[in-house]
Structure 1
Amino acid sequence: MGYKELEDEDLTFMEKVQNNWNGFRKFMWNPEDRTVMGRGKKSWAKIGLFYFVLYSLLAGFWAVMLTIFLQTVSYDSPKWTAYVSTPALHSIIIPNDQLRLTWQPSDEDSVKRITKPLNKLYEDLEKIDDTDLVDCTNLPVGSIDDGQRFCKFSVEMLGECNNPPYFGWDTLKPCIFIRLNRVFGWTPENYETLEDVPDRIKNVYMDNNIAVNCFPRRESDSANSNVNFTMPFPNAGIPFGFFPYVLGAYQMDQRDRLFQPVVAVQISLNRIEEINIECQAYTGNITPRQGLFDTDQESRTRFYLDPRE
């Protein structure tokens, strides 16, 4: 056992604290050597100059890289538009991670849970100042060069499904609200001939509109007449005049004025029973065009309605 250890053991607690404090003070400022934290003036000057040069070079490199990157970015349109080539169809009330929608028509809380997104849709629509909005119902498809077209959308177009706050979900006649996702620059096209129009929509198809149709996926549901579908509202579907979506980054402050059109379909269930439903959008060029994240399916959405007593 060394002398230092014997000496420390003979010290009281407060004496040890005092020794440590004196050592710390001397480390911070040594008046004998005139050093701060063990370094003199020259040493601090050298290390200060080193880090100044190092971080100046790093900041300059970062600034150059950022400048080069910003030269490749356009505020008018996304740099990459080939990831998804055509819009997908989705239901407003069906969560992305869920295919089965279970509710109890006689339970008010269950109905409110289902219809909350639909009531929010109405609230968002009411907030839009329609002073300068355009009636796009009968307009042809727009042009990317013309900029974003801001269109009016009236809930009166939703026919029997314009029925807040429950939209038929408190009965066995719920309304499904569906819309197309936004794909920058995509413009719909008409079918080249009437023979190209699918049989499923021939009775509702109109030029310059994206037709929407819902139907039971299982033959058994069709055979036993468990379900009936109304015509979509609006009947012709989504007018071409709402397209294309070309809102640039410099216009993000105007996004609140842009409303994505919706189509509503009322589904009449004849009894409490699960049903598998598919809705699909139809137009001349809505089939996938090999975008990076395109699927091999046309624009459609599928879900189960599962009412409970």
Structure 2
Amino acid sequence: MTQSTGGNKDKKQGEETRTGKEKKEEKKESCRDFIYNPRTGEFLGRTASSWGLILLFYFVFYGFLAGMFSLTMWVMLQTLDENVPRHQDRVSSPGEVTFYLHSVCCRIIQHLKQHRNYNDSIQEQNDLCLVGEYTEQDAEPIKKVCQFKRSTLRQCSGLPDTSFGYEEGKPCIIIKMNRVIGLKPEGDPYINCTAKRDTPLQMQYFPPDGRLDKMFFPYYGKKAHPDYVQPLVAVKLLLRKEDYNIEQTVECKVEGSNLRNSDDRDKYLGRVTFRVRVSE
């Protein structure tokens, strides 16, 4: 009885082993058939004709989407002007930018190298425009550029004094307005600077009174007005010895009847603030 029982166990174990091997083989064969079934010619469960129809569907579908996108983009581009932005409600008034120019101890002199187009030799190639009059040229495809020579800034031009006043403790600050297409400042626009301290700080402006001549306006955009240079105003801080080693905070505003320099949501609209400290 014992031998018979042992024999039955061996038979069951053998059958279980064969069954396990057969299952593994079936799984392998099933995986191979799923990838490619030679009997039906299917690849990944689909015949060649089925794959062809699917690819054709997606080709037509995505081709239609691409065509619709291209059409809508083309229609939208037809409504845009190449030279003038369609929406300018957020840039009705310009901001300001300052440049600290010092060729000896300040690295920011690199800004001057970016503005070589203000050199007199280059500006002489531009047009002489009527002082105090807008240079309107709507009908011209390429707009002319009015001369603004670097020498106009006189003591702050970097020509008579390459240190821009820093060596004598009376630094020059260069101010320019950001470009706004179509802007026509009314009246006599100018830059006005004030020091935030109890006693007034003496300053000297170049050109005189910090004027921004109207002949440099309007600006027609980078494409139509490629060589345009906006006018600059230089402010020379006439610091005294008692002003040395004290940080001076100066705020400059652009003034004009239609130019805004006060806005609760944009504190830098039409103005710029900078700090200067001169050490002995």
Q: How does 1:86-235 map to 2 (within 5 A)?
A: 86-93=93-100, 108=104, 111-121=105-115, 123-126=116-119, 130=123, 133-136=126-129, 138=131, 140-143=133-136, 145-147=138-140, 148-163=143-158, 165-190=162-187, 209-220=188-199, 222=200, 227-230=201-204, 232-235=205-208
Contact 2:96 2:175 (C-alpha < 8 Å) held by counterparts: yes
Q: 1 CA distance for matches of 2:112 and 2:81?
A: 35
- The amino acid that maps onto 1:120 is Q
Using a 3 Å threshold, how does the CA distance of structure 1 residues 120 and 137 change in structure 2: closer, same or farther?
A: farther
Per the alignment, in what secondary structure is the counterpart of residue 269 of structure 1? coil
**What is the TM-score of this pair, normalised by structure 1?**
0.68
Contact 1:112 1:166 (C-alpha < 8 Å) held by counterparts: no
- The amino acid that maps onto 2:258 is N
Q: 2 CA distance for matches of 1:127 and 1:6?
A: 94
1:70 to partner: Cα distance: 1.3
Q: CA RMSD in A?
A: 3.8
Using a 3 Å threshold, how does the CA distance of structure 1 residues 3 and 265 change in structure 2: closer, same or farther?
A: farther
Residues paired across the two proteins, number: 255
- Which of 64, 68, 71 lines up with 1:61 in the alignment? 68
1:279 aligns with 2:252: yes
Using a 3 Å threshold, how does the CA distance of structure 1 residues 172 and 289 change in structure 2: closer, same or farther?
A: closer
Q: 1 CA distance for matches of 2:250 and 2:165?
A: 17
1:88 to partner: Cα distance: 2.2
Residue 239 of structure 1: aligned partner:
213
Using a 3 Å threshold, how does the CA distance of structure 1 residues 75 and 136 change in structure 2: closer, same or farther?
A: same
**What is the TM-score of this pair, normalised by structure 2?**
0.75
Which structure has the greater CA radius of gyration? 2
Residue 205 of structure 1: aligned partner:
none
Structure 2's unaligned 5+ residue stretches are: 1-12
Percentage of matched positions with identical amino acids: 27
1:80 aligns with 2:87: yes
Contact 2:120 2:149 (C-alpha < 8 Å) held by counterparts: no
Per the alignment, in what secondary structure is the counterpart of residue 174 of structure 2? strand
* More deviation, 39-48/165-174: 165-174
Using a 3 Å threshold, how does the CA distance of structure 1 residues 143 and 176 change in structure 2: closer, same or farther?
A: same
